[in-house]
Chain A
Amino acid sequence: MSGEEAAVEKPQPLAVQEAEIVAVRKGMFPSGGAGFRSGGGDTSGYGRLERRIELPGQSPRPYGPGDSYGAFDEIENELFGALDEQGLAPELAIERVVVHRGQITFQVRREHLVQVARTLRDDPALRFELCLGVSGVHFPYETGRELHVLVPLMSITHNRRIHLETTCPDSDPHMPSLYSVYPAVDWHERETWDMFGIVFDGHPSLTRILMPDDWPGHPQRKDYPLGGIPVEFKGAQIPAPDQRRSYQ
């Protein structure tokens, strides 16, 4: 993106959110308030209980020293400054900055992921030269942001660690590949494609890596059937693990 374009676009103010709601659940059991499997049967009285599953949201600034290898405020200032210099408004590229349990995560909008990563790698004050893989997470109930990807980065130069997080919707499971910045993500992105069905645009050969080439589906998605069959035991049916009644 050239500097002029970014100047024309107005940085949209961030929707200040207390937390990131990834699911709303009813009752105590995964099968929902209606009860156990085929409906009914939940006699616990918790059937109408509604819980929101909230991941930590935007953290208030300043972030403080962090309990580990951070100087988080410094990293953020450097990154935002470097992005500004390139004509990319940081508010456009970074959705949220989450500091949780002494670790900092930058939630990056996917269209700016490569530029942010390249800045993090090349800026002398940041110098995150080591990329430690790609890890997908599937939140089937977080509409529009179902698929998350976490990319841990490390700077050996400054002895710091940060994480990048990007999301994409199930309906358009595309993400830019970081291969051009960090060749190390080659297999990791193939694994994430294999397991979650996220297409990394720009990857040189996005093929399956752990599952056989002709395997249907992406096993780590939450909607992937486990394929377990009910087991009959002394006349009673024991359901498959994913359909079994269990606490959450």
Chain B
Amino acid sequence: MTIHAERAAGDMSDASKPDAGAPPTTEELHGDPYGSGDEHGGRVFTVNGGDWDEIAESLGEAPEERIVVNMGPQHPSTHGVLRLILELEGETVTETRVGIGYLHTGIEKNLEYRNWTQGTTFVTRMDYLTPFFQEAAYCLAVEKLLDIEEQVPDRASVVRVMLMELNRISSHLVAIATGGMEMGALSVMIFGFRERELVLDIFEMITGLRMNHAYIRPGGLAQDLPPGAVDKVREFLALMPKRMKDIAALCNENAIFKGRTEGVGHLDLTGCMALGITGPILRSTGLPHDLRKAQPYCGYENYDFEVCTWDTSDAYGRYRLRMDEIAESLKIVEQCLDKLKPGPVMVEDKKIAWPAQLALGGDGMGNSLDHIRHIMGESMEALIHHFKLVTEGFHVPPGQAYVAVESAKGELGCHVVSDGGTRPYRVHFRDPSFNNLQATAAMCEGSMVADVIVAVASIDPVMGGVDR
């Protein structure tokens, strides 16, 4: 953490000015963005733990100075590489700025150089806590452009809904867990991550991976549920209500927890609408807006569940709301299991469906031996077909579509443009965290430094999704 103290009067030191004569370099003109900040004229303290009193003493002679605290990007309580630039007066935050971009990986650009199916493997890595939502949004958009939405088999849609709801549970658990941890409530963190592990075990069993699954594919799923998956989910459903009760008993009426979260990070409905905020933050103002109900996709209209709301517009309300949503998600997952009927998990159209089926062999997961036998020994046409689909991919008719799903964090939109080729022409994700982080200043300014942490935690940003 760097503290940047500037003198209120304009006695900026001239000592750091470059020598006359030599042409100024970029660094001299604009300052080194990665430098210590000395060149801006203020005094810089680098703090790595230790006692605040020592810092305060060393400020010494002019204690009324305006203090700019640079929190992050490497700070455990900023949810990854989020950088907050706080201007303080005493312990009160007078101005907040958010710096992002430290985890920009150019996923959207990369997508343009891979085929449509390979796209899922990128989008799943954006918001790494909600991989299935990105996969679903992307695949629904591609399916819309292909005009095959109606052909996606029921079983695939049911499994998609089930995975998305399990994912909502795991994402909310992390939000609650890290939120607790950042306030110093380590038990909440341990409870939350322990429960999340149960969900990740299910993911691992079904997709082979704990995160970054690339399991939902344009047209359906990568493969069917493995044997035993339904039983494992049922076990989880039996166990979870008790575990959730534990977290609720620990936090709901906990005086310290409530003291830290009630009234903190306040953002009312007007503010949410102006800033385009969706998800738990919007619902914590009392507006029951949920795309699963308002504009259902993947057959959400066939499930019985409530849209949870809370009316306090604060961090405590968002915590309670997430707990309620976990309960609703468990209800939906249970209904998914009842709806699961045997059947295909990929569209019929052999010009789109992935040709190979996966199977577990002696050396791990790979193309099934039946398929290999078919293409290598029986049918030349099948081999050509396999080769064309796997190397070149399918064509998507030109056009654009914007498809939105209700992710754990709000509206996750996917704007897909095709030029008729086998690769996306442009894919843009409207990540809910990216948009919701804009509310940081509105939630934090005027509050205490310690409340900034709570407010940001209640937004639940994941920088992988924000920076993409």
**Min C-beta distance of A100 to chain B, whole Å:** 5
Given contacts A133-B413, A135-B428, A191-B434, 15 further A-B contacts (CB under 8 A): A101-B145, A103-B402, A130-B276, A131-B276, A135-B402, A135-B426, A150-B415, A161-B402, A183-B274, A183-B275, A184-B435, A211-B104, A220-B108, A242-B113, A246-B423
Asked if B287 and A150 sit within 8 Å, CB to CB, the answer is no
List 14 A-B pairs, Cβ < 8 Å.
A101-B399, A103-B402, A130-B276, A132-B402, A132-B413, A133-B435, A150-B400, A156-B294, A182-B276, A184-B274, A185-B276, A187-B437, A220-B108, A248-B421
Contact of B421 among A68, A105, A183, A247 (CB under 8 A): A247
Asked if B33 and A212 sit within 8 Å, CB to CB, the answer is yes
Asked if B295 and A100 sit within 8 Å, CB to CB, the answer is no
Asked if B276 and A219 sit within 8 Å, CB to CB, the answer is no
A170 within 8 A of partner (CB) = no
With A209-B101, A241-B113 as known contacts, state yes or no: A135 contacts B415, CB within 8 Å. Answer: yes
With a cutoff of 8 Å between Cβ atoms, the chain A residues found around residue B437 in the complex are: 187
Residues of A within 8 A of B (CB): 22-23, 51, 53-56, 68-69, 100-103, 105, 129-133, 135-138, 150, 152, 156, 159, 161, 163, 182-188, 191, 208-214, 219-220, 226, 241-242, 246-248
Asked if B109 and A152 sit within 8 Å, CB to CB, the answer is no
Residue in chain B with minimal CB distance to A248:
B421
B298 within 8 A of partner (CB) = no
In angstroms, Cα B401 to Cα A191, docked, is 20
**Min C-beta distance of B439 to chain A, whole Å:** 10
Asked if B402 and A150 sit within 8 Å, CB to CB, the answer is yes
**Min C-beta distance of B121 to chain A, whole Å:** 16
In angstroms, Cα B108 to Cα A191, docked, is 12
Asked if A129 and B273 sit within 8 Å, CB to CB, the answer is yes
With A220-B109, A248-B422 as known contacts, state yes or no: A156 contacts B287, CB within 8 Å. Answer: yes
B71 within 8 A of partner (CB) = no
Task: Render B425-466 as a binary contact track against A, CB cut-off 8 A, 1 for contact.
Answer: 110101000110110000000000000000000000000000
With a cutoff of 8 Å between Cβ atoms, the chain A residues found around residue B468 in the complex are: 210
In angstroms, Cα B147 to Cα A103, docked, is 12
Residue in chain B with minimal CB distance to A133:
B430
Asked if B295 and A132 sit within 8 Å, CB to CB, the answer is no
Asked if B108 and A53 sit within 8 Å, CB to CB, the answer is no
**Min C-beta distance of B72 to chain A, whole Å:** 16
Asked if A69 and B295 sit within 8 Å, CB to CB, the answer is yes
**Min C-beta distance of B87 to chain A, whole Å:** 16
With A159-B294, A248-B421 as known contacts, state yes or no: A137 contacts B426, CB within 8 Å. Answer: yes
**Min C-beta distance of A135 to chain B, whole Å:** 4
With a cutoff of 8 Å between Cβ atoms, the chain A residues found around residue B159 in the complex are: none
Asked if A100 and B419 sit within 8 Å, CB to CB, the answer is no
In angstroms, Cα B65 to Cα A226, docked, is 46
Residue in chain A with minimal CB distance to B289:
A156
**Min C-beta distance of B148 to chain A, whole Å:** 11
